[in-house]
Amino acid sequence: MNILNELEKIYPSLPRQERKVALQAIQEPKKIQRLSINELAKLAGTSNATITRLVKRLDCANFYDFKLRLVSDEQLEPKESESKLAMQVQRFYEEVLTQTRQRIDEKVLLEIVNKISTCRRIYIFGLGSSGYTAKELTQRLIRMGIAAFGMTESHSMYISSGIMEKDDVILALSATGNTAEVNRAAKAGQKQGATLIAITGIENSPLYQLSDLALLVKNSNFVDNARFINSQFAMTYIVDIITTLLLDEKDHRTKMDQTIELITNNKFDKPK
């Protein structure tokens, strides 16, 4: 039995305190291997007895046995029968990530993170598949205590542009940078004093030229595979980088942790 898989399987049914320990093990198994039971209890905000109950639930003799099982799971090798197609898709993803990373301007990235962190409000624009990424980023920022509004319909974008102010930020997501509705609404918001941040796959596109700050991603349409159509993969990568940097700030991290605990308890606590 793979102990990490088993932890994920039983996680929803665990008591709240045991879930804290399970989450640490799932997220950071290598770190757990170096900790004593006292250190893990402190890290997870629980007790030695809680950890002991969890390891017994997993049919481990003791905490030491639990750590040995984690080590063996980490050393599992992939099966030789792995699908060639799966490996091919993985290489496409790796190419997109590598080329996106090479396009990142660190100075611009940090300036964007600062703008998002200190703005009055941020409006995130995205149509079509970019709209899904816009919604995801909006939810993350809200959970950090940032006043974020996801706009995934052109009429809403244009209306919101009319009430923007100089301390507001527009973050426009567009793989091509050539979506007329997004660009028109973004330009209207700029006229009201908002800062326009663009994340796009085409340098010198209309959106790129219009923006005050921009990050370029690898356009998935240019990957050498006609079936590779995930245009949002590179954008999600950039969104992950931005939100990770935002979480380095104590206030954002505290608020995010509060919402994680609230949501986790609401999902998995048994109704009284």
Total count of domains within the chain: 2
Q: Which domain holds residue 127?
A: 104-260
Residue 69 located in a structural domain: yes
Asked if pLDDT for residue 78 goes beyond 80, the answer is no
User: What are φ and ψ of residue 109, in 5° steps?
Assistant: -55, -50
Give the gyration radius of the chain's Cα atoms.
Answer: 22
What pLDDT, in 10s, does the model give residues 32-72? 989 999 999 999 999 999 999 999 999 999 999 999 988 77
pLDDT single digits (tens) 7-18: 888 887 899 999
- What band does 267 get if pLDDT is binned at 50, 70 and 90? low
- Same domain flag for 164 and 254: yes
Residue 110: pLDDT band with limits 50, 70, 90: very high
Please tell me whether residues 68 and 114 are part of one structural domain: no
Q: Is residue 91 part of a domain?
A: no
pLDDT number for residue 160: 96
Question: Is 14 part of any domain?
Answer: yes
Give the whole-angstrom CA distance, residue 146 versus residue 116: 8
In a domain, 218, yes or no: yes
> Is residue 249 located within the same domain as residue 133?
yes
Task: Let me know whether 108 and 7 are in one domain.
Answer: no
Range list of β-strands (E), 68-163 = 122-125, 148-151
Q: What percent of the chain has pLDDT over 90?
A: 63
